[in-house]
Structure 1
Amino acid sequence: MSLCLLSEISLPHALSYAAIATDEYWHSGEGQEHQTLLAQLQTSLDLQEQLQLFAMAAGNILPLSGVELQTAVGEFQAAGSAQARYQQRSLLMLKDQCLAKLQYCSDQPFTPLVCKKLQVLEVEWLYPLRNALIVTRLQQMALKDTLTGLGNRRFFDDSLDKAIQLSKRTQGQCAVLLLDLDNFKQVNDRFGHTAGDDILIAVASAMHSTLRATDSLFRFGGDEFAVLLTGDDVTSSELIGRRLVKAILRQHFCQQHQVTASVGIARWQTNQSASDLFTAADKALYQAKDAGKNRVRQA
């Protein structure tokens, strides 16, 4: 028995994971099935792809409407997942470490025999899952600023390119807000980098509390930050900029050292490149600084 390739199946349109696994794939012995699943899982370090493979194998045990995976690096759903009458949850443990939480959904009940068979599959997944989690975590760390946890410049550049491409395809909108701290350099000079780090962390916290989780937040290094807005948020970009300025002004460490923020905003125009959009926002930022700081200017 051999697993069918993911590329050969239109997973988003599958009604259940039992439905996409035909008899020709699933009629062989149980031991060979587990060995083949393990071999396939070991060929990928992508969490979403591993989940798809696992869900297909689990769907052979019981018709499933959905499989969800919760990890420290994010939450994932097998393609086409939907809620159902019955749910079964499992903790994927490896050497006393919880790797993930797994939830199955089915319109059929989870009998003790079904649960036992699912647990056998889960054991096969543990080591490939651990390896995929490590790789995913390293990839995330490469795109994050270590001090604030915000996205770094590389992540910003990638996100901006994707936002512009999406706007072109859908005739949508995107905007860039560049934020620079006023009077920050004198804090580092007079009180040291520890005080400066406290301010940077406080600013990141203010940005998180002001903006929704769907907004993209970045720190370029030093005291430079950015926000990438898409969709309906673009029309409120100036209001969002003013909220950020006020939120930062209310932070204790910022008040203590008289640190404020200036913001420059630029909305993407048709056929405008990522570089031109960034330059427009940067010019607006300098206009805010020249106008007296602690304010917002829009290109």
Structure 2
Amino acid sequence: MQTLNILDNTTSTLDTYNALANSITANNSRASLLEQLQTTLDLDKLFDIFSMEAARYIKFSGLYFKSPLVSKTLRGSRKSKHERQFELKLNDEFIGTISYSINKPISMHHFKDLQRIHQIILYPLKNALQYHQAMQLAMQDSLTGLGNRRYFDEQLKRAMHNANRHHAHVGLVLGDLNKFKAINDTYGHSVGDQVLVQFAQVLRACVRDSDSIFRFGGDEFAIIVENASEYALDVIRSRLDKQLTSNPLLAKYQVGCSLGTTFMNRADNEHSLFERADQALYRQKMNMSKRFSLV
């Protein structure tokens, strides 16, 4: 009986040791994940780190995050049979939702694992979202909500780099309003601001979701058209002509717009591409001036 008691005690001791070891491993894992997440404010990198931890618990083909500020999709994500969504809250503050594309239901054990790592990502995620919002505001024209010149420079460089990698085409459209100074001088800057805001709305309605619109200041605007074609640029021109006449405010003040368009070639850098579009805009404005002078 004494031997049996010793064996029983040994088993109990081993169970206690294993439980303690598992607890230490889990704590170390949580600390390691938090430490890694705190190394970046970039949302894409944040979800790359997080996804590697989540993959320890469930097999998923896609991971998606959505908040009032931004939507993110993990690179390489694809749809599956099911999607499991979790709401993320920090002290009752809604942060966003995280969703997994899965082929089979999540077990209760792994469900709890996911809830645990969701708690770990909350503070780093909130910090990254605040940083993202600050950067967006720094890249945004305050009047129209379009991208500003600084953001344009970054996006043009990115679009040209992607086009070279994937052998695609980038179109650049530069535009400004005809006789805008006369509107400001005659009706005041308040009306001028209303015109700019309405024109920005018109531009949004004229482009695809994949196109990017910017305001440089004054009445100068730009559109970066990725995977571009002559047809895509013709559609923008056609839509813009129709919108300028159908928008009540812009029609009231007879707002017109000149456009200069060009396509990137393999020898271009950002400066040469911009200069060519700017020259095309200048030529159109000169032609407009000649037509006005004949009237």
Whether the aligned pair in 2 keeps the contact of 1:249 and 1:260 (CA below 8 Å) is: no
CA contact (8 A) 2:80 2:101 kept: yes
Indicate the residue corresponding to 2:207 in structure 1: 211
Whole-angstrom CA distance in 1 between matches of 2:64 and 2:173: 35
What is the correspondence of 1:228-267 to structure 2 with a 5 Å cutoff?
228-267=224-263
Matched, 1:110 2:102: no
Aligned 8 A contact 1:89 1:101 in 2: yes
Identical-pair percentage: 33
CA shift in 2, pair 1:89/1:168, >3 Å:
closer
> Does the 8 Å contact 1:245/1:262 carry over to 2?
no
**Matches of residues 1-299 of structure 1 in structure 2 within 5 Å?**
29-292=25-288
Structure 1 pair 33–193 and aligned structure 2 pair: CA distance change class (3 A): same
Secondary structure at the counterpart of residue 106 of structure 2: coil
How big is the shift at 1:28? 6.4
Output the CA distance in 2 between the equivalents of 1:99 and 1:290. Answer: 52
TM-score relative to the length of structure 2: 0.82
One-letter code aligned to 2:200: A
Conserved in 1, the CA contact under 8 Å of 2:210 and 2:226?
no
Partner of 1:11: none
Q: Secondary structure at the match of 1:131?
A: helix
The Cα offsets for residues 155-180 of structure 1, whole Å up to 9 and x where unpaired, read as 22222223333344444322221111
Offset at 1:129?
A: 0.6
Counterpart of 1:64 in 2: which secondary structure? coil
Aligned residues: 269
Provide structure 1 residue ranges, at least 5 long, that are not aligned to the other structure.
1-25
C-alpha distance in 1, partners of 2:26/2:130?
A: 30
1:140-167 Cα deviation digits (max 9, x unpaired): 2222212112111112222222333334
3-state SS, counterpart of residue 29 of structure 1: helix
Say which structure is richer in helix. 2
Determine the structure 1 residue equivalent to 2:4: none
**Range that drifts further, 216-225 or 188-197:** 188-197
Check 1:106–1:167 CA distance in 2 against 1; reply closer, same or farther (3 A cut): closer
Which structure has the larger Rg? 2
- Aligned to 2:229, what secondary structure does the other structure show? helix
TM (norm. structure 1) is 0.81
Judge conservation of contact 1:238–1:265 (CA < 8 Å) in 2.
no
The alignment partner of 1:127 has SS state of helix
Change (3 A) 1:291 1:70: same
- List gaps (5 residues or longer) in structure 2: 1-21
Q: Residue 60 of structure 1: SS of its match in structure 2?
A: coil
Per-residue Cα deviation, 1:220-250 (whole angstroms, up to 9, x for no partner): 1100111112324345424422432332232
Q: Quick one: structure 1 residues 170 and 138, their matched pair in 2 at CA, closer, same or farther if it must change by over 3 Å?
A: same
How far apart in 2 are the matches of 1:104 and 1:236? 35
Q: Which runs of 4+ in 1 moved over 6 A?
A: none
**Alpha carbons of 1:172 and 1:115: their partners in 2 closer, same or farther (altered >3 Å)?**
closer
Contact 1:62–1:108 (8 Å) recurs in 2: no
